[in-house]
């Protein structure tokens, strides 16, 4: 008599979700570059959160007798043309740059996702209108469009954040639109329509959650780009204004002293480079972990 095979009970949905999350986390932490990027980002987050405790001096504390002091035990990164401690200003600058990066990308994700959902699910007319809007925004170089927006709104850190958010909307909008166009043809979506499920419920329960993986990856990469764009606007005098310790503004203020005191440019520039590198490495790791196309076929 043939032995009867015991059928394993179906795994609960919550347990499947937890196992997928644990597997993704395991793969992410096996990605060496992603771990390095995460450590860099974590360190800058610590600097930003605890800046008042870490910085040994006030950001605008001046000592004219110590102008252009080279890096030393008293001033780790040296001092600038007003005798201000550069290390303290770089530490506080991390708070500004990360704030701009996170919230500008958050605004881009929210607006871009909303427009992408409407374009992908709302029919041909809405799709055509919104897609042409994306094409118009993408027709301009991003930094030039940001400069134009800030010039209209007025130079300030808040307006720079708004400009950066606007110029990144098409990236997320087109990404979500392409995913929606693909997902709404899946059998489970067609079945949901057949049983009379409302469009709102279909979008919120099926389409939106399954469109978020590429958005999360792109958002991580976009934070680094937003930090560079904020620094560029600050360097041009259109972002943070004096005496703010924003990294781009610090580079602009230190530019005349490149030969006399190169450390005034070096350390803010290194801070920008390391922060952007950290987010890029972390974003690459998330892409390799979450995107099935990037996973190796065993």
Does 197 map to a domain? yes
Using one digit for the tens of pLDDT, what is the confidence trace for 259-290?
Answer: 899 999 999 999 999 999 999 999 888 888 87
Does 196 map to a domain? yes
Give me the CATH number covering residue 260: 1.10.3720.10
Does 26 map to a domain? no
pTM for this entry: 0.86
Does 108 map to a domain? yes
* Number of compact structural domains in the chain: 1
Question: DSSP states of the chain as a string?
Answer: -PPPPPPPPPPPHHHHHHHHHHHHHHHHHH-HHHHHHHHHHHHHHHHHHTHHHH-SS-TT---GGGTTPPS-SSSTT-B-TT--BHHHHHHHHHHHHHHHHHHHHHHHHHHHHHHHHHHHHS-HHHHHHHHHHHHHHHTS-HHHHHHHHHHHH-SSHHHHHHHHHHHHHHHHHHHHHHHHHHHTTSHHHHHHHHTT--HHHHIIIIIHHHTHHHHHHHHHHHHHHHHHHHHHHHHTTSSS-TT---HHHHHHHHGGGTTT-THHHHHHHHHHHHHHHHHHHHHHHHHHHH-GGGSPP-
Does 64 map to a domain? no
Using one digit for the tens of pLDDT, what is the confidence trace for 162-203?
Answer: 999 999 999 999 999 999 988 888 888 888 888 888 878 888
Domain that holds residue 124: 31-58+83-294
Does 94 map to a domain? yes
């Amino acid at each position: 008599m043939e032995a009867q095979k015991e059928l394993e009970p179906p795994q609960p949905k919550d347990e499947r979700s937890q196992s997928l999350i644990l597997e993704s986390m395991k793969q992410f932490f096996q990605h060496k570059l992603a771990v390095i990027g995460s450590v860099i980002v974590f360190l800058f987050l610590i600097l930003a959160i605890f800046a008042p405790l870490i910085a040994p001096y006030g950001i605008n504390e001046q000592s004219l007798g110590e102008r252009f002091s080279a890096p030393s035990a008293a001033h780790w990164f040296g001092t600038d043309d007003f005798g201000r401690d550069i290390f303290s200003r770089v530490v506080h600058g991390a708070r500004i740059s990360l704030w701009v990066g996170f919230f500008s990308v958050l605004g881009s994700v929210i607006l871009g996702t909303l427009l992408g959902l409407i374009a992908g699910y709302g029919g041909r007319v809405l799709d055509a209108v919104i897609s042409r809007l994306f094409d118009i925004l993408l027709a301009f170089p991003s930094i030039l469009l940001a400069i134009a927006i800030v010039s209209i709104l007025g130079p300030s850190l808040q307006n720079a954040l708004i400009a950066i958010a606007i110029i990144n909307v098409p990236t997320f909008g087109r990404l979500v639109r392409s995913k929606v166009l693909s997902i709404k043809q899946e059998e489970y979506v067609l079945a949901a329509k057949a049983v009379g499920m409302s469009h709102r419920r279909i979008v919120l329960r099926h389409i939106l959650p399954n469109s978020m993986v590429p958005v999360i990856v792109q958002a991580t990469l976009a934070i680094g780009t937003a930090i560079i764009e904020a620094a560029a606007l600050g360097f041009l005098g259109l972002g943070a204004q004096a005496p703010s310790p924003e990294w781009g503004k610090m580079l602009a203020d230190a530019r005349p002293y490149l030969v006399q005191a190169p450390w005034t440019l070096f350390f803010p520039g290194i801070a920008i480079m390391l922060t952007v590198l950290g987010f890029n490495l972390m974003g690459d790791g998330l892409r390799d972990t979450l995107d099935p196309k990037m996973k190796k076929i065993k």
